[in-house]
Amino acid sequence: MRILITALLLLLPTSVLAHEFKAGSLLIDHPKIVETPPGAKVAAGYLTVVNSGEGEDRLLAIESTTISRVEMHASTITDGVARMKQLESGLPIPAGKSASLGDEGTHAMFMDLTRQLKAGEKIEAVLAFEKAGRVPVVFNVEKRSAQKVERHEHQ
Amino acid sequence: MNTSRSKVLRTIRWVSWGLIAVLSTVLAVLWAQVRFSTEAEAKPYATPFQLTDQNGATVTERELLGKPSAWFYGFTHCPDVCPTALAEMAQVLKELGPEADKLRVVFVSVDPARDTPAILKDYVAYFDERIVALTGEERQLQQMTKARYIFYKKVGDGDSYEMDHTAGIQLVRADGRFFGTLDSHENADVKLQKVRRLIGE
């Protein structure tokens, strides 16, 4: 039975297997990195944090042992020009609400890559929260989401 | 004697005025033609440049005219906006099927210090091998982007600088005239329709 379940789980696309991590009143949902083109030195990562607690928390930093530098950034397109800036004060997670790296152009930026990150890989990282402290998580590397690109195919 | 001389003078005066009138009209018409034709038929993509493609070959504006094209300006150290735009253009090429032969997709890196032709080759091939990648000397890039109303600017120092850059894709007619843009906020359907209109002209 266990083998059957494992086999079934393996058949599911990774995006369906929403993986999550818990730390006190925080739930970290589905940290993922988008597969990189060969030669790219940066990768974008996304995640959602649900805060069921009474007080606000804040994601201050992301660290990884496999990728030397991780920053949190926001890309904006204003007046037709794409710009990027660091999230200087991290990502606030209001009490009773959720916040995502992925909203409004925000993303985790994995930098100084020495090789291509391919779908199926798992990248270990630690999320440093102001109150919840250090939380180990795993970012799943996934194929570029076709949502934006292939939306019309489902009509 | 006096009367005949004044008659001659009057004739000369009339003829002179006539000539001035005719000349002014001709000049006005010529001026209007030059002025309004440059406005209506400006060919920003026919202005000269010399860059290098992903195979190391020198490419000028001439090689990229002759069929409609879609141009995106960015850099490979760009985590989301640039790969998304390239993925969308790869999808457009796929959707066009055999019609994709009528469209040229060009990615210009505005970060020549980091984006060498070798890096660009692997990078664009990941999205679609038909995409042409260009980069080159800073001076050439500046001249070219200025003629095409493209903005870009280096932000920060050291190794971890970013590039601000125009996010939209420019659609260009076969002769170098501007056709329109694909805005980054438009959905894939709208983009595909615009490209179909461009190659159907």
Q: Which residues in A lie closer than 8 A to residue B151 (C-beta atoms)?
A: 81
Q: Which residues in A lie closer than 8 A to residue B156 (C-beta atoms)?
A: none
Question: From the DSSP assignment, how many helices (H) and strands (E) are in chain A?
Answer: 2, 11
Inspect the interface and report whether the beta carbons of B119 and A39 lie closer than 8 Å. Answer: yes
Using a CB–CB cutoff of 8 Å, tell me whether A32 touches chain B: no
pLDDT of B2 reads 64
Give the pair of three-digit tokens for residue A72: 């949190």
**DSSP string of A73-108, one letter each residue:** EEEEEETTEEEEEE-TT-EEE-TT-EEEEEEETEEE
d(CA B136, CA B51): 5
Using a CB–CB cutoff of 8 Å, tell me whether A154 touches chain B: no
Q: Which residues in A lie closer than 8 A to residue B76 (C-beta atoms)?
A: 37, 39-41
CA-CA-CA-CA torsion sign (B69, B72, B76, B81): negative
Instruction: Express the helix, strand and coil content of chain A in percent, nearest 5 each.
Output: 10, 50, 35
> What is the rounded average pLDDT of the residues A69-94?
93
Residue-wise pLDDT for B62-116, tens only, equals: 999 999 999 999 999 999 999 999 999 999 999 999 999 999 999 999 999 999 9
Inspect the interface and report whether the beta carbons of A148 and B83 lie closer than 8 Å. Answer: no
Going along chain A from its start, the domains and CATH numbers come out as 34-143 (2.60.40.1890)
**Is A10 a residue whose pLDDT tops 50?**
yes
| Residue, of B31 and A115, whose pLDDT is higher | A115
Closest-approach residue (CA) in chain A for B126: A37
The one-letter code for the residue type at B30 is L
| Residue, of B25 and A62, whose pLDDT is higher | A62
The percent of residues above 70 in pLDDT, for chain A, comes to 82
The complex's ipTM works out to 0.79
pLDDT of A149 reads 39
**Is B42 a residue whose pLDDT tops 90?**
no
> What is the rounded average pLDDT of the residues B155-182?
92
Give the pair of three-digit tokens for residue B176: 């170098």
Closest-approach residue (CA) in chain A for B128: A37
**What confidence tier does A151 reach under pLDDT thresholds 50, 70, 90?**
very low
Residue-wise pLDDT for B117-167, tens only, equals: 999 999 999 999 999 999 999 999 999 999 999 999 999 988 789 999 999
> What is the rounded average pLDDT of the residues B190-199?
96
Q: Which of A120, A122, A93 is nearest to A28 (CA)?
A: A93
**Contacts with B96 (C-beta within 8 Å, 6 or more apart), sequence order:** B102, B103, B192, B195, B196, B199
**DSSP string of A110-126, one letter each residue:** EES-SS---TT-EEEEE
pLDDT of A150 reads 36
Is residue A91 within 8 Å of A59, Cβ to Cβ?
Answer: yes
d(CA B188, CA B162): 27
d(CA A81, CA A84): 10
Task: Tell me which residues of chain A, numbers 39 to 78, contact chain B at a CB-CB cutoff of 8 Å.
Answer: 39-44, 69, 73, 75, 77
